[in-house]
A and B are shown apart, each in its own frame.
Chain A
C-alpha cells in the first residue's frame, strides 16, 4: 500500500512545529500504524534525515504509551483501539493521513509526536496509598463485593492512562482518566479509609496541572481505546462532592 503522510514535526517545546509531507510505499496492510512509522523512520535515517520521534512501548494495547492523533482522531479511526493496534488495512491505498501529537496545555510537546504526560503521573501520585492489613491474607469471603460493583471496578481499571481522552476533549479535561482511577477504588472496600482524601487530592492536582473541566461532551468516551464509560465522571463528581462535605 501507498500513503501520503502529513506528519507534525516540532524540534522542541519552544520551537513552533509544522506539518511535513512524506510519501511511503510498499506498506503491508497487516502492519500496525507504528510499524508503518518505523519503516518511514528507517527511510529517513538512510537518507540522513532526522527520524520522527514518537512514544511507544508494549505495542499490544496495554501500556498507554503510543499516542498519535490520526486524521483528527485520537488513536485514529478504529474504535476502541490504541495506535499500536491500528492496522494499515483500516486505510485505503493512496490515502492521505494526518499525524499529530496529543494537543493539550497540560501535555506539552517534547519533540514531534512525543508529549510530556507526566501530569498524569502527578495525579496518580497524589492518589496516594491504599491501606491494607499486613500479615496473613484474610479469607476472601470476609470481604464480600457486590458482583456488579466488582465488574464496574474492573472496567474502570482497564484505563491505560494514554491521555486520548484529554486530547479528544475540546476542554482538554482529564476527567475520564481521573474518574476511571477514582472509580476503580471507590467501588471496592479496599482503599476505603483514604477514599475522601484521594478524591480531593487527585482533583486538585488535575486542576493544578492545567486540565480543563468536563462539560459532558463525550468525546473522551468515544475515543477511549479501553471504552471507559462517561458514567465514571458522574461517580467522580459524586465522590468529590461527598468528600468536600465530609472533609469540611
Chain B
C-alpha cells in the first residue's frame, strides 16, 4: 500500500497493487492459521478478522484511487498535475464514491454521491 497506493499514485502502480492484493488475499485465506476455536474467547481469531478487513480495505482504496482520474486532497495521481500541483477534474469527479461489494472477484459497483456547493465557488487551490 505504501509503495503503490501511498502519497503519489500512478495507474501502473495501482494496477500492480490490485494484482498483488489479490494474491495476498488468496494466500491469506488459504494459509491463515488461527489458534483456538470459534466457540471460545479467542483474541487470535479477532486479529485474523482484522487482517482480513485490512486486506479488503486496501483493495477498496486501490480500486477507488484507480478509478479517480484526477488529483484531489490526499489523492495525488502523478498523471494529473500541473508542475507538481494537484490537478482536479471537477466536471467528472465531483462526487464522494461508495463502492458496493458484488462478491469476491466481481467488479464492485460505484455509487456516486454528487457534491453540491451552494455558498462557495469551486476554485483551484494554489500554494504559489
Contact = CB atoms under 8 A, between A and B. Distances in A.
Interface stretch (A17-25, A49-57, A68-76, A137-145): A49-57
Contact of B40 (A11, A45, A48, A51): A11
Contacts of B36: 50
Contacts of B41: 12, 53, 110-111, 114
Contacts of A49: 35
Interface residues of B, number: 8
B35 A45 contact: yes
Interface centre among A49, A50, A110 (most CB of B within 10 A): A50
A55 to B, nearest CB: 9
B118 to A, nearest CB: 26
Nearest to A53: B43
B44 interface: yes
A50 B35 contact: yes
Contacts of B35: 44-45, 48-51
B58 to A, nearest CB: 24
A110 B42 CA distance: 10
Nearest to B44: A51
Interface in A113-166: 114
Nearest to B37: A50
Interface of A: 11-12, 44-45, 48-51, 53, 110-111, 114
15 contacts: A11-B40, A12-B40, A12-B41, A44-B35, A45-B33, A48-B35, A50-B35, A51-B43, A53-B41, A53-B42, A53-B43, A110-B41, A111-B40, A111-B41, A114-B41
